Amino acid sequence: MRIKTTWDFSEGHEAQRLIHVTSQIATGFFKVNGFYPVSYGTVPPQYITVLLPDLPYLTIPRFWEKVAKISVSQMHMIDQPELTAQLKKLLISVPTAPNISKIKTQWDKISPDFFDEVYKILPNKKGLIKEIIIWPTNFGTSCSFSMIEFTPGIVYIWLRADQGIESIGWAILSALTRQDLIDHLDGLWQESQILVDWLMNETMLAKFFSRPRKTMSTLRSKQNASILEISNKFLTKIGAPIIDSSVIKSIDTSSFTLREKRLLDLLIAKSPQIVTFDEINELLTNNYEQFSLYAISKSIQRLRDRLEKSGISGSFIQTKRGEGYLLVN
């Protein structure tokens, strides 16, 4: 059965895109994962750049404080009517609907064969998706996607105008695999990226794309340093907060459980060194015989969730495979 793709641009979606992007700036997600927010039109767009219009965001009262507290994990569920309306007013002076006719034609051509190949590689994922809804945008990262909530469900994708069909493929594969990686393998965002990079470059899916994505190798490139100064100046200009691990030391932990407080204190005390599984187990159980990697990973995930609710990206707590966890600077 052919999976339907709907393309839908609106000013409301563009305003919500800005909420999505500025939230990830305010929580430090982009900083810790190697992305560089820059002013739209100032540098050639690439996977590592986050395009943002140069707007007077500070004219919206407590703007950065507000966006830091908004959950953007499911982008289609951003329900902020007042903030959306305020951003729509600011967006009057920036580019309007992008031209997506070429990429739409290309995607419609390969879509059936692409999904056939995906289900050969991932047969247990067949039937999970009933529709793809793409919101073309001028801003943000190359693309963003939503997790599948129901079966069969909808995958929502923000697709930046300068991107090609490989970004659509990347988003779909990520939507199909990321939650499993998180739930069953204690996976992180970076590891999900590597998995999808491999699927797109080392399987038969590569035949559909003239320039398959290599997101993680791009993010780790030393050439990225050339964009850092431009990004920092732009973030200062728009009044974005400076977020690093030191901010975590001063957050309000009154809503944290005692175990969560102790775990956070241990990570802070040893940062940037690794807190081993043994150390976490001793802290949480006082009994080596009760050692459980699953229980430890769930405790870390709950702590990451607490940080997210406090307006700080859970990505600051990084996993070191086979060793433990650390709080990155």
Note whether 179 and 192 are within 8 A (CB): no
Confidence (pLDDT) at 141: 93
**Range scoring the smallest mean pLDDT among 111-115, 194-198, 282-286, 294-298:** 282-286
- This prediction has a pTM of 0.84
In terms of pLDDT, which residue wins out, 62 or 295? 62
In this structure, which topology does domain 245-327 adopt according to CATH?
Arc Repressor Mutant, subunit A (1.10.10)
Give residue limits of the domains in the chain.
Answer: 1-242, 245-327
DSSP-based three-state secondary structure for 239: coil
Angstrom distance (rounded) from CA 322 to CA 319: 9
Say how many C-beta atoms besides its own lie within 10 A of residue 53's C-beta.
Answer: 20
Note whether 197 and 174 are within 8 A (CB): no
Say how many C-beta atoms besides its own lie within 10 A of residue 57's C-beta.
Answer: 20
Which helix (H) or strand (E) element contains residue 191?
helix 189-202
Angstrom distance (rounded) from CA 56 to CA 60: 8
Angstrom distance (rounded) from CA 41 to CA 51: 8
Is 70 exceeded by the pLDDT of residue 84? yes
What's the burial of 213, exposed, middle or buried (CB within 10 Å: 0-12/13-18/19+)?
buried
Note whether 64 and 239 are within 8 A (CB): yes
Is 80 exceeded by the pLDDT of residue 44? no
Is 80 exceeded by the pLDDT of residue 155? yes
Q: Enter the tokens of residue 301.
A: 């995930």
Is 80 exceeded by the pLDDT of residue 321? no
| Range 298-326 average pLDDT | 85
Strand-strand pairing, 317-320 and 324-327:
antiparallel
- Residue in this structure with the two tokens 């992007």, named with its chain if needed: 21
Q: Which residues contact 319 (CB under 8 A, 6 or more apart)?
A: 186, 188, 300, 325
Confidence (pLDDT) at 46: 72
* pLDDT single digits (tens) 238-278: 999 887 777 888 888 888 888 889 999 999 888 888 999 88
Strand-strand pairing, 4-7 and 317-320:
unpaired
Say how many C-beta atoms besides its own lie within 10 A of residue 104's C-beta.
Answer: 15
Confidence (pLDDT) at 7: 96
